[in-house]
Amino acid sequence: MDLQDLIVRTRIIDFIRVLDLKVFRYALRREFFLRGLPYAERTYFLATQDPGRYCAFGLAIRRITQEEVPGAFAEVGVYLGSSSKVIHRLAPDRKMYLFDTFEGFPADDLKGWEHKCGVDWSPETFKSSVELVKRNLGDTRNVLFRKGYFPDTAKGLEDERFAFVNLDVDLYAPTLSGLEFFYPRMNRGGYIFVHDYNNPEADRGVSQAVDLFFKDKSERIVEVPDAGGTVVVRRI
Ligand SMILES: C[S@@+](CC[C@H](N)C(=O)[O-])C[C@H]1O[C@@H](n2cnc3c(N)ncnc32)[C@H](O)[C@@H]1O
């Protein structure tokens, strides 16, 4: 699939979602998790694939702003930039790091897990590019791309501090290295979201990494009832 096909595919999916107005209006009235958000944000979140997930981001970012938690934002696992766009749109003045190979899953991380994945993890499926993500984001002010293998791409950021991190890398190894890198660099009150915790893919590699990491920490995970089985931790 080339770049143009990918662009067309994301546009068509977005268009179908927005057209589904009946579902959209019903959900807007009904969903309690939306009620704390301004109207523009509520409608925007509902037009996305996983409103539960994005509303959890929205409420967290609103709290970070209200409580003036300092620090940069980051996402590890960007793919086409769908979640990056929502996060950046809510806090366009924050520095935001986007980490991805932009060439799909690294072969070394997949070794031993590929047969347990249950989805097509070939590099072709998750092919993206910095250029494509820039186009999808629209506004790229304060966005810093870190292309390549994570955690190698975190080199040089040892003194950075964070307020919001979204880890969405699907596999055991990068989830664990993401927690190891970001946790000690989170400011008090900062949020770490981890996607796919309650997702059986890849032999539950994400939940294995999260459970191992938080075994000896003071914080506890909170499960988010979204489509992706997210968990969130707030730094004490
Ligand atoms: C499920 S996709 C991310 C989806 C995106 N957050 C969204 O919601 O639209 C997972 C991404 O993680 C990236 N990834 C996985 N392991 C990585 C690693 N060790 N270093 C860099 N990128 C990695 C893959 O290239 C892929 O684009």
Distance from residue 118's CA to the centre of ligand 1 (Å): 16
pLDDT in tens, 34-85: 666 666 666 666 666 687 888 899 889 989 999 999 999 999 999 999 899 9
Going by pLDDT thresholds of 50, 70 and 90, the confidence category of residue 110 is: confident
Quote helix, strand, coil % in the chain, to nearest 5: 45, 15, 40
Which residues contact ligand 1 via a Cβ below 6 A?
A: 77-80, 82-83, 99-101, 104-106, 109, 126, 128, 149-150, 168-171, 174
| Pocket mutation for ligand 1, best pick of 9, 49, 78, 127 (most atoms within 8 Å of C-beta) | 78
SS3 194: strand
Query: Considering the domain boundaries, does residue 88 fall inside one?
Result: yes
* Beta-carbon contacts of residue 104 (< 8 Å; ≥ 6 apart): 121, 122, 123, 124, 125, 126, 127, 128
Query: Considering the domain boundaries, does residue 133 fall inside one?
Result: yes
pLDDT in tens, 206-225: 999 999 999 999 999 999 98
**pLDDT greater at residue 156 or residue 43:** 156
Closest-lying ligand 1 atom to the alpha carbon of residue 126: 27
d(CA 133, CA 139): 11
Domains of the chain: total: 1
Element (H, E) at 146: strand 143-147
Instruction: Check which CATH number belongs to the domain holding 103 and give it.
Output: 3.40.50.150
Domain residue limits at 160 = 51-234
What are the backbone dihedrals phi and psi of residue 91, each rounded to the nearest 5 degrees, phi first?
A: -145, 65
